[in-house]
Amino acid sequence: MKLWGGRFKTEEDSFMDKFNSSFNIDQRLWEQDIKGSIAHVSMLSKCHILSSDEAEKIIKALEQIHAEILDGSLFLEGEFEDIHSFLEYQVTQKAGAVGKKMHTARSRNDQVALDMKLYVKLSGQEVIKSLEKLISAIEQKSNESSFPMPGYTHLQRAQIVTFKYHLMAYYEMLSRDMKRIENALSIMDTCPLGSCALAGTTYPIDREFTAAMLEFEAVQKNTMDSVSDRDYIIEMISAFSIIMMHLSRLSEEFIIFSTKEFDFIALSDAYSTGSSIMPQKKNPDSLELVRGKTGRLYGNLMGILTTMKALPLTYNKDMQEDKQYYFESLDTVIDCITIIEGVVSTLTVKSENMEKATKGGFLNATELADYLVKQGIAFRDAHSIVGQVVKHCEAKAMEIDQLSLEELKAFSPHIKEDVYSYIEPSSILKQGTKPDML
Ligand code: ARG
């Protein structure tokens, strides 16, 4: 069933028909489309554009279709151009000719914009919920992880931190990600319905009524903007991409930390897989897949940005591509958040190995410089003195705290016996801003 056959002389090419159809993708919007149609028809009746009897028949049919799709007696299938054509056909089947009045003062352009906004608002909340679970798993794991480990810059040992603090960095990243989604959801909270194709309508419709019924904050005023706006999809995929960037950094670190070379953590068997040839292998596939799927999100973000680039106002069929980008991005980001939540909450942390690693690599060199500064030496001079201490230690294959007081004094007479306790990992963590890490 076509919604637009009237002005055509010949049939659509059958391959073109398939090429044009988005039904296999946008059928995911069925519930939003029904909800939007009920609001639209209620408004038409309230504004006396449809009689209340007509509106009632259409709404009853829509509700029946909703129930039948839910209980599995009506399948989302058939040769339809899109979900809008499918539902209009079903309404007309059920309500009779009055069903053909449903599309009064509406276009698929404002209809699809509405459906997508409703879907994005709902699914945005789902992403927030899964982020909340991940964030609390991270918080829980970090509460058990108040022990020292090396902190890195350039992936070289730098200074002492705690594993708790390391994990809490991800807590902060993901909390920002949540705010980014909330912000995108609040910017997009305007209702496009009533824009019709692009230029509104000569009918005396009530756009405030539908906006309120569909729980939008406001009406999206400029009708040309509202049918061509896909900013909110771009913003959401962008926020999802940033989440994936964060998850991929966590994945990469956990992959590195779980190598024999580091041996700081062990993934649960539940999130690892084996090798078909090497019997001993336990591979961090969960993390590798999250790292890998990040590319998919970036691709989708670049894809939708490129689709929208230079599109003239208002609706163009190019925009039909938006759904595939969004649905794929949404499913991937939720899957990845869920997997990382599982990895984090089942993670074994080898605190002894982390602590052992803090003993090598001169993690306390900065604190020795701080010690000298406290004795009145300028920081730049202290830096240079400690640099020489480190050079000496490297030649002797020793750590700073293994040098005798005499050896240390040779570099600076200001160094006294109390230096050892000052540069001791547990005492470092008690000074200045550092107790935050415990
Ligand atoms: N399937 C279309 C889409 O997703 C619906 C809007 C069609 N509008 C049109 N003027 N052909 O974008």
* CATH of residue 311: 1.20.200.10
The gap from C-alpha 70 to its chain's centroid, in whole angstroms, comes to 28
Domain edge (last residue) among 76, 104, 132:
104
pLDDT at residue 435 greater than cutoff 70: yes
Which of 353, 376, 408 is the C-terminal boundary of a domain? Answer: 353
Domain boundary pick from 329, 353, 377: 353
Q: Does residue 110 sit within a domain?
A: no
Write out the residue range of the structural domain in which residue 396 sits: 360-437
5 within a domain of the structure (yes/no): no
Check pocket membership of 82 for ligand 1, CB cut-off 6 A: yes
Residue/partner pairs of 398-405 with CB below 8 Å, 24 or more apart:
399/359, 399/360, 399/362, 400/362, 400/364, 400/365, 400/368, 401/364
160, 305: one domain: yes
Q: Whose CA is nearest to atom 2 of ligand 1?
A: 320
- 164 and 310 fall within a common domain: yes
Residue ranges in 219-321 assigned as alpha helix (H): 223-228, 231-257, 285-308
Structure tokens at 220: 């999206």
Give residue 426's pLDDT band: very low, low, confident or very high (50, 70, 90).
Answer: confident
Instruction: Look at residue 152 and tell me whether its pLDDT is greater than 70.
Output: yes
Residue 73: predicted pLDDT: 98
**Confidence (pTM):** 0.95
Minimum CA distance residue for ligand 1 atom 10: 109
Segment (H or E) for 161:
strand 156-162
Any domain includes 8: no
- pLDDT band for 425, please (50, 70, 90 cuts): confident
Given a cut of 80, is residue 250 above it in pLDDT? yes
Q: How large is the average pLDDT for residues 369-387?
A: 96
Residue 43 domain-assigned (yes or no): yes
- 233 and 328 part of one domain: yes
Q: Which helix (H) or strand (E) holds 85?
A: helix 83-95
Whether 113 maps to a domain, the answer reads no
Ligand 1 atom closest to Cα of 323? 4
Do 331 and 257 reside in the same domain of the chain?
Answer: yes
Long-range contacts of 146-154 (CB under 8 A, 24+ apart): 146/438, 147/351, 147/354, 147/355, 148/354, 148/355, 148/358, 148/425, 148/426, 148/429, 149/264, 149/354, 149/355, 149/357, 149/358, 150/354, 150/357, 150/358, 150/361, 150/363, 151/363
Assess whether pLDDT exceeds 90 at residue 281: no
Nearest to 340 by CA among 173, 180, 176, 150: 173
Are 280 and 371 found together in one domain?
Answer: no
37 and 175 co-located in one domain? no
Q: Would 211 be classed as within a structural domain?
A: no
Same domain, 129 and 236: yes
Are 406 and 377 within one domain? yes
Per-residue DSSP letter, 278: -
d(CA 58, CA 95) in angstroms, rounded, equals: 6
The pLDDT confidence band at residue 1, using thresholds 50, 70 and 90, is low
Handedness of CA 327, 314, 191, 36 (dihedral sign): negative
Looking at the fold, whether 126 and 242 belong to one and the same domain comes out as yes
CATH of the domain at 39: 1.10.275.10
Per-residue pLDDT tens for 312-359? 999 999 999 999 999 999 999 999 999 999 999 999 999 999 999 999
- Domain shared by 264 and 279, yes or no: yes
DSSP 283: B
Active site residues: 154, 275
57 pocket-lining for ligand 1 (C-beta < 6 Å) = no
Q: What gap in Å lies between CA 174 and CA 246, rounded to an integer?
A: 8
Q: Residue 348: inside a domain, yes or no? A: yes
For ligand 1, the distance from its centroid to the CA atom of residue 320, given in whole angstroms, is 6
- Identify the CATH number of the domain in which residue 374 sits: 1.10.40.30
Please, what is the average pLDDT of the chain? 96
Residue 273 shares a structural domain with residue 349: yes
Quick: pLDDT tens for 15-42: 999 999 999 999 999 999 999 999 999 9
Q: What is the mean pLDDT of residues 67-71?
A: 98
- Structural domains in the chain (count): 3
Give distance in angstroms: CA of 76 to centre of ligand 1: 18
305-314 own/partner pairs: CB under 8 Å, 24+ apart? 305/234, 308/230, 308/234, 311/228, 313/198, 313/224, 313/225, 313/228, 314/109, 314/197, 314/198, 314/224, 314/227, 314/228
Kindly give, in sequence order, each residue whose CB lies less than 8 Å from that of residue 75, ignoring residues fewer than 6 positions away.
Answer: none
Q: Locate 383 and state its tokens.
A: 């830096």
* Residue 322 Cβ contacting ligand 1 at under 6 Å: no
340 lines ligand 1 (CB under 6 A): no
- Does the N-terminal peptide bond of residue 153 adopt cis geometry, omega within 30 degrees of 0? no
The reported pLDDT for the residue numbered 150 is: 97
Q: From ligand 1's centre to the CA of 220, what distance in Å?
A: 19
- Mutate-to-test residue for ligand 1 from 20, 82, 88, 193, highest number of ligand atoms within 8 A of CB: 82
Q: For residue 338, is it within any domain? A: yes
Based on the fold, state whether residues 19 and 140 are members of the same structural domain: no
